[in-house]
Amino acid sequence: MRIIPAIDIIEGKCVRLTKGDYTTQKIYNEDPLEVAKAFEDIGVTSLHLVDLDGAKAKSIVNHRVLEKLATHTGLKIDFGGGLKSDADLKIAFECGAQQITGGSVAVKNPEIFKRWLVEYGSDKIILGADVKRDRIAVSGWMETSEESIIPFVKKYQEAGVEYVVCTDISKDGMLEGPAFALYESLLSACPEIKLIASGGVSDISELPLLADLGCNGVIIGKAIYEKKISLKRLESYILENT
């Protein structure tokens, strides 16, 4: 199971929100590159980079941050937030993203998302399935769709999706543990997907439990920034499990 730290960007700065609420914004570092290099130094190879300004604006905003991180680190960057058009996707890949996550676009413009899967390949396009009370949330989690999580993922699995990032919004930033039951039911229904768990990680002891469920990766954000999981401990975990 891959360890994937998250860097969320507002106005070029590394921030965290709670339950996706922009009014809860807390700045942790004004230099995302410094944060990314610290992750790379402990053996991390993948990074989840989220353009929160882009999610709100519904088009890519912080592509220069992406370009800087891709240029100055060797991290495999999955980029999301505001990717709604072919032009957004082109910018993201040209600026160094190795994968992109599409959530809102998969709900609102399924034909575009399916075309991206065909054009770029399932190894490049990740389905973002962010859940609020079983329904898929969109537009920076400010809206809730009528799509239910398991049928939504199944539909896209049939369309060729390989990777799925799933966040239980009620867990996000709460440091109360991941949504184990949600991931178990999702993997039971769709055993072939490469599921990336996101939201709620609070302690290193939760990581083997997610691995045992069959998760392909886990995104960790606030637990690192609030020092619930130290970089030193995370480094040890990565060394022990590679």
In the prediction, which pLDDT does 140 show?
Answer: 63
Query: What CATH number is associated with residue 96?
Result: 3.20.20.70
Do 138 and 145 meet the contact criterion of CB atoms below 8 Å apart?
yes
Domain count, the chain: 1
Instruction: Give just the sign of the alpha carbon dihedral 197, 101, 134, 58.
Output: positive
Instruction: Give just the sign of the alpha carbon dihedral 122, 125, 126, 129.
Output: negative
In the prediction, which pLDDT does 20 show?
Answer: 85
Do 75 and 98 meet the contact criterion of CB atoms below 8 Å apart?
no
Residue 87: other Cβ atoms inside 10 A: 11
Is 123 catalytic? The answer is no
Is 41 catalytic? The answer is no
- As averages over each run of 10 residues, the pLDDT of the chain (242 residues) reads 97 92 94 98 98 92 98 98 94 98 93 97 96 83 84 96 94 90 97 96 97 98 96 97 88
Looking at the DSSP bridge assignments, the partners of residue 91 are none
Residue 64: other Cβ atoms inside 10 A: 11
> Catalytic: which of 78, 130, 168, 172?
130
For 20, the domain range is: 2-240
The pTM score is 0.95
